[in-house]
């Protein structure tokens, strides 16, 4: 992940702008254990009044990119096993040290890992599924997200796309297919030229669809049909693989299987929250083959207001000579709701099917997106005599993805997203 350490004086100089500017602005810092100075990974960071949250990365850094900042707002930083800290935003901007210290609670378990008590896994997983159903947000919600996808043939990259945009859940009340309720809105897109090996699957179109919603579809299918589903929870077999103590709490790594679908889910025992899931499934949608295929799915969760939200979703498969990878990472999560109509869904769906590719390099740099593994090789393989990869991003901008004509719903989708962006 690319980290930008902005000096504190830079924060202070920007304070008057934050409340009025509609350009993206960034808050960032580092969360550490006050007892030893070590970084705290995956700590929750949220702005109270704007109801926006994110989590710290593997080095303890957090980044919140906002369209507008309220000076009266407060940062709330929490981490399991540590005392929660609340900081007025002006105090945070004025402090001389951008590090935020959290201190452990007085309750400490022994550092010696003791074998946990015997578990009834069927009952435990039923409780996890019930807890997930009760707390999972049923109203529409939105997150600022980054996704990237690539394809390889003969171990060389043949396609690459990434976008900063918005992942949207349309809500349970909307009258659309359950698998169509998660959508990705493409706002700032970097698209490579495509190799013929990829384009041969696009006939009769000039390109295959973008995969921004593909990971969300895979997550939704798992949510409805996997071990978190009330109707299917009892159909899986469970086996305790291991347990460990994480921040004073037991975490159980539970293997699950049903037919050819196999995976592992990590459960925090005291509140039945889910840390991560990974599985092998035959129900991943292949963009280039236009059918379900076997592959790997990995999901990580974040919790705000004790409610589960997707933190990242990744899918990978290798079939018909094509290796494909797609990952969506949430940059900041809005954990309050908004109103959405059937017409709004139609507009967002239209954007998903035929997005307008627009790359704004200056705005892109304001969002510190996750570092992409193997990016040097991607750049090398996809650059050619006419254009290197960076030039391709600009060449493929300001045009529709697969056609020359605008969808009749594009303007409505852009208007709807502009209203939602004000929430950030």
The crossing angle, in degrees rounded to 10, of helices 342-353 and 410-421 is 110
Q: Under a CB-based contact definition with an 8 Å cutoff, are residues 267 and 274 in contact?
A: yes
Q: Which two tokens stand for residue 268?
A: 């925090």
Distance of CA 217 to the CA centre of its chain: 13
Q: Which two tokens stand for residue 253?
A: 């790594």
Q: Positive or negative CA dihedral for 282, 284, 289, 291?
A: positive
Contacts with 347 (C-beta within 8 Å, 6 or more apart), sequence order: 409, 410, 412, 413, 416
The domains found in the chain, sorted by start residue, are 8-102 (2.60.40.1120), 134-421 (no CATH)
Q: What is the dihedral of CA 361, 362, 364, 367, to 10 degrees?
A: 160
Q: Under a CB-based contact definition with an 8 Å cutoff, are residues 79 and 247 in contact?
A: yes
Per-residue confidence (pLDDT) for residue 245, from 0 to 100: 83
Q: Under a CB-based contact definition with an 8 Å cutoff, are residues 211 and 353 in contact?
A: no
How far is residue 223's CA from residue 171's CA, in Å, rounded to a whole number?
Answer: 14
Q: What is the dihedral of CA 12, 14, 19, 22, to 10 degrees?
A: -160
For 105-140, letters b (16+ CB in 10 Å) and e give eeeeeeeeeeeeeebebeebbbebbebbeebebeeb
pLDDT tens track, the chain, 424 positions:
333 333 333 333 333 334 434 456 678 889 999 888 889 888 889 888 888 989 888 888 888 877 777 888 888 998 877 889 998 888 887 877 778 899 887 655 444 444 555 789 999 999 999 999 999 999 999 999 999 999 999 999 999 999 999 999 988 877 888 888 899 999 999 999 999 999 999 877 788 999 999 999 999 999 999 999 999 999 999 999 998 887 678 899 999 999 989 999 999 988 899 999 999 999 999 988 889 999 999 999 999 888 999 999 999 999 989 999 999 999 999 988 788 888 888 888 888 888 889 999 998 987 778 889 999 999 999 999 999 999 999 999 998 888 766 656 677 788 888 888 777 7
At 77, is the secondary structure helix, strand, or coil? Answer: strand
Query: The pTM is what?
Result: 0.86
Q: Under a CB-based contact definition with an 8 Å cutoff, are residues 71 and 91 in contact?
A: no
Q: Positive or negative CA dihedral for 282, 284, 285, 286?
A: negative
């Amino acid at each position: 992940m690319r980290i930008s350490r902005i000096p504190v004086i830079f924060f202070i100089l920007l304070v008057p702008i934050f409340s009025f500017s509609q350009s993206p602005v960034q808050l960032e810092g580092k969360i550490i254990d006050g007892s030893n100075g070590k970084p705290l990974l995956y700590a929750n960071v949220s702005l109270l009044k704007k109801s926006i949250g994110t989590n710290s990365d593997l080095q303890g850094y957090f980044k919140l990119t906002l369209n507008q900042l309220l000076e009266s707002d407060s940062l709330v930083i929490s981490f399991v096993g540590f005392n929660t800290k609340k900081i007025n935003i002006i105090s945070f901007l004025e402090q001389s040290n951008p590090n935020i210290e959290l201190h452990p609670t007085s309750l400490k378990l022994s550092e010696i890992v003791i074998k946990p008590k015997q578990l009834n896994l069927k009952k435990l997983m039923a409780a996890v599924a019930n807890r997930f159903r009760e707390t999972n947000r049923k109203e529409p919600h939105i997150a600022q997200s980054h996704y990237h996808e690539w394809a390889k043939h003969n171990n060389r990259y043949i396609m690459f796309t990434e976008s900063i945009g918005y992942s949207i859940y349309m809500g349970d009340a909307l009258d659309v297919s359950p698998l169509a309720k998660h959508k990705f809105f493409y706002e700032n897109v970097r698209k490579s030229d495509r190799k013929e090996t990829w384009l041969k699957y696009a006939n009769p179109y000039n390109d295959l669809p973008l995969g921004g919603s593909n990971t969300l579809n895979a997550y939704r299918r798992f949510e409805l049909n996997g071990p978190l589903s009330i109707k299917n929870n009892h159909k899986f077999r469970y086996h305790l693989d291991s347990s460990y103590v994480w921040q004073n709490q037991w975490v159980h790594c539970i293997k699950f299987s049903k037919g050819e679908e196999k995976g592992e889910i990590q459960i925090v025992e005291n509140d039945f929250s889910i840390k991560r899931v990974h599985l092998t499934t035959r129900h991943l949608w292949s963009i280039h083959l236009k059918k379900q295929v076997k592959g790997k799915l990995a999901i990580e969760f974040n919790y705000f207001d004790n409610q589960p939200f997707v933190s990242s979703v990744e899918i990978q498969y290798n079939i018909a000579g094509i290796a494909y990878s797609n990952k969506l990472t949430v940059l900041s999560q809005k954990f309050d709701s908004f109103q959405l109509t059937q017409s709004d869904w139609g507009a967002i769906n239209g954007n998903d099917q035929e997005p307008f590719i627009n790359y704004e390099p200056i705005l892109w740099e304001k969002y510190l997106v996750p570092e992409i593994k193997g990016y040097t090789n991607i750049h090398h393989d996809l650059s050619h005599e006419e254009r290197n990869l960076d030039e391709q991003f600009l060449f493929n901008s300001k045009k529709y993805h697969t056609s020359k004509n605008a969808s009749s719903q594009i303007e409505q989708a852009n208007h709807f997203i502009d209203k939602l962006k004000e929430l950030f």
